A and B are shown apart, each in its own frame.
Chain A
Amino acid sequence: ETGVTQSPTHLIKTRGQQVTLRCSSQSGHNTVSWYQQALGQGPQFIFQYYREEENGRGNFPPRFSGLQFPNYSSELNVNALELDDSALYLCASSRQGEGTEAFFGQGTRLTVV
């Protein structure tokens, strides 16, 4: 059983650019969630995807968008990058259902300069 994998592991972008982060969910999981973890903070929920549709969103602006593919993998896109977008972005996969545990990838460290 393969775990959650994210790519790339590290990324440096310039303010105003766009970035795409990728996530492959764990085998058997149909739901993907994305979290932003700023330095010294707990992860903050960005959004969740189930059956290729956004299924809940946190307090993030529309320039944060996502996709889920038929194989349940997912992308996180961020447009018009700002310095405050510098963070560790975590992808988590799970089975849909109440209280099911989420399994996290290693994260992508994004630095905006």
Chain B
Amino acid sequence: AQSVTQLGSHVSVSEGALVLLRCNYSSSVPPYLFWYVQYPNQGLQLLLKYTSAATLVKGINGFEAEFKKSETSFHLTKPSAHMSDAAEYFCAVMGAGGTSYGKLTFGQGTILTVHP
């Protein structure tokens, strides 16, 4: 079975500050990992994905995430927050086979607030 835990349902930062959103996963097989962003009343937009090619993954809008197998973590970071980054962020895991094939399991989400 696969699962995702996002630590912190709400994160608040000042504009220009570092953004760190935490994600830990559980998977019985080497996972594929994703970060999605959701703006109010909209669907999910893919920020980045990890598929074992490189442990540091760069995504859109200046975001990046590092896969750490020993810590079963895939934290999302951005060096300098912008007001437009305010949204809800979801970490998701997809198993590589069996009943998890093609199925995304999402965390509960983290709402990012950016203060001027």
Contact = CB atoms under 8 A, between A and B. Distances in A.
A104 B43 contact: yes
Contacts of B109: 40-42
Given A42-B109, A106-B43, A99 B104 contact: no
A107 B43 contact: yes
Contacts of B82: none
Contacts of A41: 108-109
A6 B41 CA distance: 13
A104 B106 contact: no
Contacts of B92: 42
Main secondary structure of the interface of B (DSSP, over half): strand
A33 B90 contact: no
A66 interface: no
A102 B92 CA distance: 11
A24 to B, nearest CB: 13
Nearest to A6: B43
A29 to B, nearest CB: 12
Interface stretch (A11-19, A67-75, A79-87, A90-98): A90-98
A103 to B, nearest CB: 7
Contacts of A103: 46
Given A42-B90, A99-B32, A99-B51, A33 B43 contact: no
Nearest to A3: B43
Nearest to A9: B41
Given A99-B49, A102-B104, A56 B44 contact: no
Interface in B27-56: 32, 34, 36, 41-46, 49, 51
Interface of B: 4, 32, 34, 36, 41-46, 49, 51, 90, 92, 94, 96-97, 99, 101-109
The 3 nearest A-B residue pairs measured at CB: A42-B106, A99-B32, A104-B43
Interface of A: 4, 6, 31, 33, 35, 40-45, 48, 50, 55-56, 58, 90, 92, 94, 96, 98-99, 101-107, 109
